[in-house]
């Protein structure tokens, strides 16, 4: 009973904050509306980090991203932004509550206390082989793409060259090329369980990681670059229970530095971005404008969908990974709803739940958020019991998806499922035992 009352109190503060923010938005007090949700997101993140004992606890990350991202969007720093529909507000509220129900349903809350992976020569050898195989396949596919398409995005003068660096007939090749982003996370696990000090293996691992970071940089893909760093950082935090806070700060600085480097490599300046997003303050620095755009506009695209969608697509949007990976999209293109609803043709990213609403409306976002909450808690339970180190790679990926819940439709992306399938194959191989 005490645990239940505690949960009700925690979500009660969110409900109150959400309602006050909604009223402030209706009154066009946008700064107040946004600040209320940002403060609530930070409060809940800190609260659940203390309760769980982990900076990367999944519910804490989702709260900071989803509620905090909504608060940032509510600031309305762009003239493109308008007051949201009440259905949009309802959807955002339902998403967070549904995630919480799925996370708490039928399970007692407990701390994230997964056991650290133990030294294991056999599993370390298998992890090493997987890293080397990913290296060879990824590098080979990337070279083939360069030869077939004829240029490398980072050396192109086009601002969106990465978007065109692919051929429809080579989409599997492209997924294989970017699968190298799993290498840094696997490397953290390999170093943790490897019991031998082999110079040639350490050298091979260094080469593999250089390639793993070079490929996203050459693609000029900020997301892939940050994704591999994020996954590796989450895994490092999980498998090192006694990590110093200074190390955590250093990891944060590494992520920020990576963001700056990849942003500079893209052919965009502050004036261009401020004009595209029609910022009210036209002289805002690029390192503030760009993250604001990638957070705020996704919520506005969701609102644009709510206001303009004539009818639901009943599953076709979320089935896109299956349609893409099987090649059906080339045979039956009508299986993919082509119309997307955007505030601007140049701002094409969405929140995690855009496709769920596109398919089934408020019911769709409720069910998907509920399922994601269940999966998040199941993964936390598994890492407490499993002896297979690759389970941390699953956790790392889900953690990054939830930490960037405001950014894109993760589970409607073929790349997401491709990486999860590869992780599943590695999990089975590393954990295989004839007994």
Q: What is the DSSP string of 351-389?
A: -TTHHHHHHHHHHHHHHHHHHHHHHHHHHHHHHTT---T
Alpha carbon distances (Å) from 212 to 136, 173, 225, 323: 11, 16, 9, 28
In this prediction, residue 267 carries a pLDDT of 54
66-80 per-position pLDDT tens digit: 999 999 999 999 888
In this prediction, residue 161 carries a pLDDT of 47
Positions in the chain short of pLDDT 50: 160-161, 164-165
In this prediction, residue 235 carries a pLDDT of 93
In this prediction, residue 280 carries a pLDDT of 84
In this prediction, residue 4 carries a pLDDT of 62
Task: Identify which of 252, 239, 289, 249 has the alpha carbon closest to the alpha carbon of residue 269.
Answer: 289
Angstrom distance (rounded) from CA 209 to CA 212: 5
In this prediction, residue 270 carries a pLDDT of 63
Angstrom distance (rounded) from CA 43 to CA 14: 10
In this prediction, residue 52 carries a pLDDT of 84
In this prediction, residue 133 carries a pLDDT of 96
Contacting residues for 213 by C-beta, under 8 A, at least 6 apart: 184, 225, 228
Task: Identify which of 203, 198, 194, 178 has the alpha carbon closest to the alpha carbon of residue 239.
Answer: 194
Angstrom distance (rounded) from CA 259 to CA 324: 30
In this prediction, residue 145 carries a pLDDT of 81
In this prediction, residue 221 carries a pLDDT of 75
In this prediction, residue 346 carries a pLDDT of 79
Phi, psi of 279, rounded to the nearest 5 degrees: -65, 140
372-409 per-position pLDDT tens digit: 999 999 998 888 888 899 999 999 999 999 999 998 88
Contact 89, 364 (CB under 8 A): no
What's the predicted TM-score (pTM) here? 0.89
In this prediction, residue 178 carries a pLDDT of 86
349-360 per-position pLDDT tens digit: 899 999 999 999
In this prediction, residue 119 carries a pLDDT of 84
């Amino acid at each position: 009973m005490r645990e239940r009352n505690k949960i009700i109190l925690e979500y009660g503060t969110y409900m109150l904050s959400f309602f006050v923010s909604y009223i402030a938005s209706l009154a066009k007090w946008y700064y107040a509306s946004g600040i209320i949700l940002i403060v609530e997101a930070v409060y809940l993140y800190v609260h659940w980090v203390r309760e769980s004992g982990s900076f990367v606890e999944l519910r804490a990350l989702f709260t900071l991203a989803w509620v905090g991202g909504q608060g940032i969007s509510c600031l309305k720093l762009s003239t493109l932004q308008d007051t949201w529909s009440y259905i949009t507000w309802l959807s955002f509220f339902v998403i967070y509550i549904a995630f919480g129900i799925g996370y708490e349903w039928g399970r007692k809350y407990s701390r994230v206390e997964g056991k650290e992976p133990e030294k294991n020569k056999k599993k370390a050898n298998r992890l090493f082989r997987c890293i080397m195989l990913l290296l060879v396949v990824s590098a080979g596919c990337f070279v083939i793409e360069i030869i077939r398409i004829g240029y490398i995005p980072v050396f192109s003068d086009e601002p969106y060259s990465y978007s065109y660096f692919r051929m429809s007939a080579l989409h599997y090749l492209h997924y294989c090329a970017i699968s190298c982003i799993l290498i840094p996370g696997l490397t953290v696990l390999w170093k943790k369980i490897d019991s031998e000090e082999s110079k040639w293996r350490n050298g091979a691992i260094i080469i593999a990681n250089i390639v793993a970071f070079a490929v996203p940089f050459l693609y000029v893909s900020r997301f892939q670059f940050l994704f591999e760093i994020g996954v590796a950082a989450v895994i490092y935090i999980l498998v090192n229970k006694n990590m110093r806070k200074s190390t955590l700060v250093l990891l944060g600085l590494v992520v920020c530095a990576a963001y700056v480097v990849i942003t500079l490599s893209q052919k965009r300046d502050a004036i261009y971005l401020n004009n595209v997003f029609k910022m009210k303050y036209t002289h805002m620095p690029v390192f503030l404008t760009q993250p604001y755009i990638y957070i705020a506009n996704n919520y506005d695209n969701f609102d644009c969908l709510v206001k303009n969608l004539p009818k639901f697509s009943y599953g076709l949007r979320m089935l896109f990974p299956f349609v893409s990976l099987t090649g059906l999209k080339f045979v039956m293109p009508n299986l993919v709803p082509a119309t997307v609803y955007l505030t601007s043709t140049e701002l094409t990213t969405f929140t995690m739940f855009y496709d769920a609403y596109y398919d089934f409306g408020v019911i769709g976002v409720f069910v998907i958020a509920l399922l994601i909450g269940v999966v998040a808690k199941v993964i936390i339970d598994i890492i407490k019991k499993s002896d297979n180190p690759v389970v941390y790679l699953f956790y790392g990926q889900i953690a990054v998806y939830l930490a960037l819940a405001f950014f894109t439709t993760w589970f409607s992306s073929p790349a997401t499922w491709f990486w999860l399938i590869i992780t599943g194959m590695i999990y089975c191989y590393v954990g295989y035992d004839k007994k």
